């Protein structure tokens, strides 16, 4: 198994139109095709993994969980700081998220 820091090769096949589209987008960002594709694939992988978190609750715990979702506590300074913190995979500076989380 390769270490996380050792580069590995990933090969994929694409149609010429797909390659051209990727190249055009990468060029607009001043990135190489490989950098563009790797960043896009990693971003999508993170979204999939974050959206697929599974947990199981019994009926009583689920009802309590739903109640907490329906009546969340008021935001605190600590919560605001936490939500503004940069995720390890986020390339944008902290506090510059594309969507507002808590006001």
Where are the strands (E) in 1-103, listed by range?
none
> Is 80 exceeded by the pLDDT of residue 94?
no
pTM metric for this prediction: 0.50
Do the Cβ atoms of 7 and 35 come closer than 8 Å? no
pLDDT band (50, 70, 90) for residue 17? very high
- From 52, 18, 51, 50, select the one nearest 37 (Cα to Cα): 18
- From 43, 42, 23, select the one nearest 33 (Cα to Cα): 23
Q: 102 or 6, which is more confident?
A: 6
Sign of the dihedral defined by the CA atoms of residues 53, 56, 61, 63, in that order:
positive
pLDDT band (50, 70, 90) for residue 12? very high
For the chain, domain boundaries: 1-54, 57-103
> Is 60 exceeded by the pLDDT of residue 101?
no
């Amino acid at each position: 198994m390769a270490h996380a820091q050792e580069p590995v090769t990933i090969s994929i096949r694409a149609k010429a139109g797909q390659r051209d589209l990727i190249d055009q987008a990468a060029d607009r960002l001043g990135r190489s095709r490989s950098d563009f594709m790797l960043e896009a694939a990693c971003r999508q992988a993170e979204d999939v993994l974050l959206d697929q978190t599974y947990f199981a609750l019994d009926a009583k715990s689920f009802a309590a969980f739903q109640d907490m979702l329906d009546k969340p506590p008021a935001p605190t300074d600590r919560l605001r700081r936490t939500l503004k913190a940069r995720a390890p995979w986020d390339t944008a500076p902290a506090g510059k998220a594309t969507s507002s989380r808590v006001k």
